[in-house]
Amino acid sequence: MFLFFLFVFFSLFVLFPLGHLFWGFEKPVLDAQIWIPFFNSLKLGAMVSFFATFFGFILALSTTQKKLIGRKFFASMATLPLISPPFVLAIAMILLFGRQGILTQKLFGGHTLFHIYGFWGLTFVEVLAYTPTAYLILKGILEAIPPSLKEASLNLGGGHRYTFLKIVLPLSKQGLLTAFLVVFMESLADFGNPLILSGNFEVLAVKAYMEMTSFYNVNAATFMALMLLFPSLIAFFSQRIFLKKSVVVVSGKAQASSFDWLGKKPRRFLTIFCSLFSCIIILMYGMILIGSLTKVWGLKFELALENFSQVWQLSHKTLFDSIFLAFLSGPVTGLLGMGIAYMVVRKKFLGKRFLEAVTLFAFAIPGTVLGLSYALAFNKPVLGLPILQGSAAIILLLFVVRNIPVGLQAGVAVLNQVDKNIEEAAQNLGAKGWGLFRRVTLPLMAPAFFTGWAYSFVKAITAISAVIFVVSGNWSLVTVDILGLVENGELSYAAALSLILIAIVVLVLLGIKFLVGLVSTRGLGGALRGV
């Protein structure tokens, strides 16, 4: 029954809209111009992934050192960008280095230091925005390396550098590759940052959007979307293959260890790096704070609280829409994810691999591509359903489809821990099927469910790339409003609205954490880390 529902759900809301990309696209665009955004996107993706992976690795090395002073603070800083839409960093960039930027005006006497609109500005911002992704992946990998391996290496005479090169680095190889590929996918799919900062440097995601909304050129838009889809899919599947070959085996039980395998000198280097990184993050978000309190950026640097009342007037409706839809998407995503996880881990049935593949497939589709395909597929009645375009349902559906893979992963992780014996005991006592799942398995999975909820909420409320294709006058989202304000040059308003959004995310995260009794010292990003 549930299986049938899933089958219909995925056919209708993943495969069916994606099919429209192929139908919508009539003939290849043979214009040589078309390849420019393609190669730009790849170049940007490669550059961003390289630096984000590198920085993420250094940060992860640092925060896993027990003796590093301020490691908890650094961990929070390394994950801070996750709780805001990525393009908030682009706004901060303009506030700092733009023509009216504070550094441009105050330090460099009105001369722009370097051109932020283009490849380098974009690279800088995306590196900051996606370093947290790489950090979380690599932190997980580094924590999975048993401390005894590093101790064994030192014990056999290997110095810190030798231990790093021969033990830690080889065992992180898969993680580094995974981080690289995942960030590559995120950069390819990024929409907000290039929309604000790309200047003459055209990238696929923005170009596809422009073709669709400004020129109504469905053929060109779908062609771009397909060009965006394929590198993402390649990155996604190679990452799946690498992950399968993971080698870390833990035998026996690990000794609790407060020993830091790195020596004093490397630790000092790490501290300096983390401090610099934290300073940049604080500077960027500090700019948003100052920007939100300033009357007109660049002209009148004077305190003004009315920005908040102004944007409240303008955007409180979309703000509530955003909160409502994002909050609602949480439990839906969570339940679906858990349900699929339960089927995949515990049940045997025909098409199991297919189900898993399709679910994860949704993760590999760049937001822009999915959004475009929804806009094409649901602007007319489908199977007797009313027209979805412009409704709240289509936004909710996009949120859910995009976040189910995360719900699934959280569910699988927990299910693998939940003792199968408990379930079997319950089964012997007569519980079966749905009853077993609801009364026994689900309560055991509750923590993952709430983590999934928190994660979906944050992901949804900060999302832009997919939903920008399906918002309407009736149902819009705060991220779309912020982008609009930036486009109109209303930077102070944009900053104020971003700040309100960040505050809401923090409040909701703390609320959910409190509810689950998960209140711990894991830092702001902590709620996201369990996934």
Partner 1 sequence: MQVSIRDLTKIFKERRRETVAVDHFSLEVKSGQLVTLLGSSGCGKTTILRMIAGFESPSSGSIFISGKEMNGLPPNKRPVAMVFQSYALFPHMSVFENVAFGLRVRNVPRKELRERVEKILQKVGLNGKEKRGPNQLSGGEQQRVALARALVVNPEVLLCDEPFSNIDQSLRIKMREEIKRLQKELGLTILFVTHDQEEAFYLSDKIVLIDSGKIIQEGTPKEFYENPKTEFVKDFLGGLKKVNGELVRVVALA
Ligand X SMILES: Nc1ncnc2c1ncn2[C@@H]1O[C@H](COP(=O)(O)OP(=O)(O)O)[C@@H](O)[C@H]1O
Residues interacting with ligand X, by CB under 6 A?
A: 256, 258
Query: Phi, psi (5° rounding) for residue 470?
Result: -120, 0
CA atoms within 13 A on the CB side of 473: 0
Rg from Cα positions in the chain? 24
Residue 259 vs 354, nearer CB to ligand X: 259
- CB burial of 259-285 (b: ≥16 within 10 Å; e: otherwise) equals ebbbeeebbeebbebbeebbeebeebb
Closest separation in Å from C-beta 413 to partner 1: 21
For partner 1, which is the closer residue by CB, 151 or 202?
151
Q: Which stretch binds partner 1 (CB under 8 A): 132-140, 153-161, 349-357, 440-448?
A: 153-161
Q: Spell out, one character per residue from 233 to 272, where the chain touches partner 1: x when CB under 8 A holds, - when not.
A: --------------xxxxxxxxx-xxx---x---------
Cα(166)–Cα(468) distance, rounded to whole angstroms? 47
Q: Which of residues 442-471 bind partner 1 (CB under 8 A)?
A: none
Residues 6+ apart with CB under 8 A from 435: none
| Shortest reach from residue 147's CB to ligand X, in Å | 10
110 binds partner 1 (CB under 8 A): no
155 binding partner (options ligand X, partner 1, none; Cβ < 5 to 8 Å by kind): partner 1
Minimum CB separation from partner 1 for residue 247, in Å? 5
Q: What backbone torsions phi and psi does residue 318 show, to the nearest 5 degrees?
A: -65, -30
Select the binding partner of residue 244 from ligand X, partner 1, none (C-beta < 5 to 8 A, by kind): none
Interface with partner 1 in residues 154-183 (CB under 8 A): 154-159, 162, 166-167, 170-171
Q: Which is nearer to partner 1, 255 or 313 (CB)?
A: 255
C-beta of 154 vs 289, nearer to partner 1: 154
The number of beta carbons lying within 10 Å of the beta carbon of residue 42 is 17
Give the nearer residue to ligand X in terms of CB position, either 202 or 260: 260
**294 near 492, Cβ under 8 Å?**
yes
Going from the C-alpha of 164 to that of each of 153, 167, 179, 270, the distances in angstroms are 9, 6, 19, 14
Q: Tell me how far apart the alpha carbons of residues 190 and 38 are, in angstroms, rounded to a whole number.
A: 14
| DSSP H helix total and E strand total for the chain | 24, 2
* x-marked contacts with partner 1 along 363-402 as a string, rule CB under 8 A: ----------------------------------------
Kindly tell me which of 252 and 430 has the beta carbon lying closer to ligand X.
Answer: 252
Q: Which residues bind partner 1 (CB under 8 A)?
A: 146, 148-149, 151-159, 162, 166-167, 170-171, 247-255, 257-259, 263
